Amino acid sequence: MSRWEQKNHNRWLGVCAIAIALIIWEAIAAGIIKNPFILPAPTDVFSAFIELLQKGRLILDFEASLIHFGIGLIAALLIGIPIGIVMGWSRRFDAFLDPVIEILRPIPPLAWIPFAIIWFGLTSWSAGFVIFVGAVFPVIINTYSGFRSVPRIFVETGKMLGCTKNRDLIRFIAFPAALPSVAAGIRIATGVGWMCLVAAELFGVSNNGLGMALWFFYNLHRMDYVVVYMILLGLIGLFFDMLFRYYMDRHFLKWRTGEVA
């Protein structure tokens, strides 16, 4: 069997597993539990999805969530990357900032919700802030460790070729060398930020939002709608991750081909 056939074959295995899971789910929900409030069957969920699409609600929820998520992630990049750079480049900044970051880092992002509300009110910014708290630390840590592990030989080569100022060394040598690690950090941050999304929307910062809607329909006991939003949250998160990986591989990490398996 060729490699390509093997790969295709394995993909079919994955599709089979999803199909089997759906069949078991349907059998348990429709055959054993028989109560769509406790466990809606896949067929219920699918028709709920169609209903929601027809109401035109999904797009609005998706847009609202995208705004919250975008605020949080962009702020995390704008603040996290520079902090990671100065800490990774200068031992002094590292010694200075590290204790503060290590104390703040273990605080769960959701514990910031009260202050998010006090500082930003019930606006998209406060949801964005909670997502920011979740996303900023992976960005800092990975940028930092990427800069720390820039091979000395590259920095010295740069110096021998006339790149001697700190700013130039960071821009032309350390940042490109650390980019794979920075990118990995952004990817982790995307995942963590997305996970914070539901909780960030629970406290009613907007009328729409995937997390907001999930909570809203739970209060209406429409569990089939709740499952639709759960699955959408999962699929959109997966989609972001794939999009990001594809983009990174194509545009930034061409030079790593042959180095990563």
Task: Give the range of 12-20, 185-193, 205-213, 250-258 binding other proteins by CB under 8 A.
Answer: 250-258
Provide the minimum distance between the beta carbon of 163 and other proteins in the complex, in angstroms, as a whole number. 5
Provide the minimum distance between the beta carbon of 161 and other proteins in the complex, in angstroms, as a whole number. 4
Q: Look up residue 251 and give its amino acid.
A: H
Among 96, 218, 239, 255, binds other proteins (CB under 8 A): 255
Our CB check for other proteins shows the closer of 126 and 181 to be: 181
136 in the Ramachandran plot: left (φ > 0), alpha (ψ -120 to 50) or beta? alpha
Provide the minimum distance between the beta carbon of 191 and other proteins in the complex, in angstroms, as a whole number. 25
Our CB check for other proteins shows the closer of 54 and 257 to be: 257
Provide the minimum distance between the beta carbon of 256 and other proteins in the complex, in angstroms, as a whole number. 7
- Could you give phi then psi for residue 151, rounded to 5 degrees? -60, 135
Question: Rounded to whole angstroms, how far apart are CA atoms 1 and 161?
Answer: 50
Question: String of b and e for 195-205 (b: at least 16 CB within 10 Å)?
Answer: bbbbbbbbbeb
Q: Please write down the long-range contacts of 39-45, taking CB distance under 8 Å and 24 or more positions apart.
A: 39/223, 40/223, 40/224, 40/227, 44/224, 45/224, 45/227, 45/228, 45/231
Our CB check for other proteins shows the closer of 31 and 162 to be: 162
Contact 78, 139 (CB under 8 A): no
* 256 near other proteins (CB under 8 A): yes
Provide the minimum distance between the beta carbon of 45 and other proteins in the complex, in angstroms, as a whole number. 46
* Kind plus residue range of the DSSP H or E element containing 24: helix 3-26
Q: Per-residue contact track with other proteins, 121 to 160, x per CB under 8 A?
A: --------------------------------xx-xxxxx
Helix, coil or strand: residue 30: helix
H-state helical runs in 27-174: 42-55, 57-89, 91-104, 113-120, 124-148, 152-160, 166-168
Number of residues located near other proteins, criterion CB under 8 A: 23
Q: Which runs of E-coded beta strand occur in the chain? A: none
Our CB check for other proteins shows the closer of 110 and 155 to be: 155
Our CB check for other proteins shows the closer of 179 and 230 to be: 179
* Kind plus residue range of the DSSP H or E element containing 138: helix 124-148
Our CB check for other proteins shows the closer of 38 and 260 to be: 260
Residues of span 157-196 touching other proteins by CB under 8 A: 157-164, 168, 172-173, 176-177, 179
Our CB check for other proteins shows the closer of 163 and 195 to be: 163
Which residue reads 């091979």 in tokens? 151
Task: Give the range of 27-35, 62-70, 92-100, 249-257 binding other proteins by CB under 8 A.
Answer: 249-257
Task: Write out the two tokens for 140.
Answer: 């800092």
Which residues are at the interface with other proteins (CB under 8 A)? 153-154, 156-164, 168, 172-173, 176-177, 179, 254-259
